[in-house]
Chain A
């Protein structure tokens, strides 16, 4: 009988671990679609999550130990790269694209602005090995990790790994990044009937549903498709986007529709970070005569003119997508070992 009581308490404990976002581990918010991440292949544990977090914040992953994942993905800006149009790597090298915010990655069918990466675990290989980012080799990282006492011990604990191999490294990082769930914005609490929009937010919400929701579809605020949003190709950086993955001319200059969650904090905007303020983004969309080619179907079908007040309303709605609990969650912070 005593054992049952203990098991019951243990189960309660486990359940509370899973529901409480504060502890950092992945959870599936109510009414959200089924996540696509393969959790069976990489069962999450608190140790695994913490190991992934340590790696995420550790410049050991870069060739000269100067750049970590967090160099371009800062928590307070929803894991985007504040103030940098495109990402920075080792030796002050500069990449071609804006480091996107990291959140709700378990629901992404593909990753990167061009959707070239099909698997969250495998994504990390790109920044680690890209000469403009961490400029390291997988051999190099594994060699360093296998010489490091902390990592040797932790990888052994989490994966029984000796030596640490590629799949262990990628799974550990995956445990952390897949757990970056943001679902506690004001918008979410309104949906849960725990609070209410003010009048301006409400007006903004109707405008959003009318003009934006088709691509920035709730609850993830992206439909994960690749679109041309009328900003026109970048004149300095040659980047044909989705076409580089599919080889189709019709996909030239298409980029992923980004999520709008925490959009207030994840500036600058667009795949190349060319727009620094959110109200400038709204000004772009607010007048269809601004839009340059190429334009996706959603834009060619439309003529929009939003006046300044309407843009303000929309902006105030977008700010309800900010999730302070996520941005300041201690469990996602730089770890003190």
Chain B
């Protein structure tokens, strides 16, 4: 089992990939460190963008925009979830995709960051940095949803505009704890999969 996970973690592109993510902003392919304009006239730049996906079989996988090969999902199961369930959060294992080295582990309050989004809002020439560590597996603040994917889908387009617009950067530039605000961002991200 362990080797299985390691295999997926180390060689995602070699695994039995059935589906590939295509993050997009409008018609453009999404890239880190690039400025995208928002409907309100401001621009947004993303410097770190990582999130966990999992399946009902207990497979967990970290997608990291800094390494687009991770967009190929190496899952056996087609029942995909965004985020991690409580079992994965409290598994107490630290290998493969569970390794705290990946920068997604909350050591002092056991659990994983399900979505890490770090960047900058450019507003009238001003730069407003933001940092969102979005997670939570305890009711009522779970950040974990099943993703419905139509039969036969190979390419999953992620429309990120709604997420970028929904970020409360001017009012809450930093969110590092589970709660309502974290859930709202996570929800906005999950709509990208629709």
- A interface, CB within 8 angstroms of B: 38, 41, 112, 116-119, 121-122, 125-126, 129, 138-139, 142, 165-167, 170, 244-245, 247
Roughly how many angstroms separate A35 CA and B177 CA in the complex, as a whole number? 31
- B interface, CB within 8 angstroms of A: 90, 92-95, 98-101, 105, 107-110, 141, 177-179
Residue contact A116 to B177, C-beta cutoff 8 Å: no
Residue with the greatest number of chain A CB neighbours at <10 A, chosen from B100, B108, B177: B108
Residue with the greatest number of chain A CB neighbours at <10 A, chosen from B90, B100, B110, B141: B110
A122 in complex: contacting residue of B95, B101, B107, B179, CB < 8 Å: B107
Total A-B residue contacts, Cβ distance less than 8 Å: 55
B131 CB, nearest partner CB in chain A, Å: 18
Set of chain A residues within 8 Å of B95, measured between Cβ atoms = 165-167
B108 in complex: contacting residue of A112, A121, A165, A247, CB < 8 Å: A112
Q: Which residue of B has the minimal Cβ distance to A116?
A: B109
Set of chain A residues within 8 Å of B105, measured between Cβ atoms = 122, 125
- What is the interface of chain A mostly: helix, strand, loop, or mixed? helix
A167 in complex: contacting residue of B93, B108, B141, CB < 8 Å: B93
A52 CB, nearest partner CB in chain B, Å: 15
The 8 residue pairs across chains A and B that have the minimum distance between CB atoms:
A119-B92, A118-B110, A167-B94, A125-B107, A167-B95, A116-B109, A166-B94, A126-B107
A126 in complex: contacting residue of B94, B101, B108, B177, CB < 8 Å: B108
A226 CB, nearest partner CB in chain B, Å: 14
A109 CB, nearest partner CB in chain B, Å: 11
Residue contact A166 to B108, C-beta cutoff 8 Å: no
A-B contact pairs, 6 of them (CB 8 A): A38-B92, A116-B109, A118-B110, A122-B92, A122-B94, A166-B99
Residue contact B110 to A165, C-beta cutoff 8 Å: no
Roughly how many angstroms separate A138 CA and B101 CA in the complex, as a whole number? 7
B116 CB, nearest partner CB in chain A, Å: 17
B7 CB, nearest partner CB in chain A, Å: 15
Q: Which residue of B has the minimal Cβ distance to A137?
A: B101
Roughly how many angstroms separate A118 CA and B91 CA in the complex, as a whole number? 9
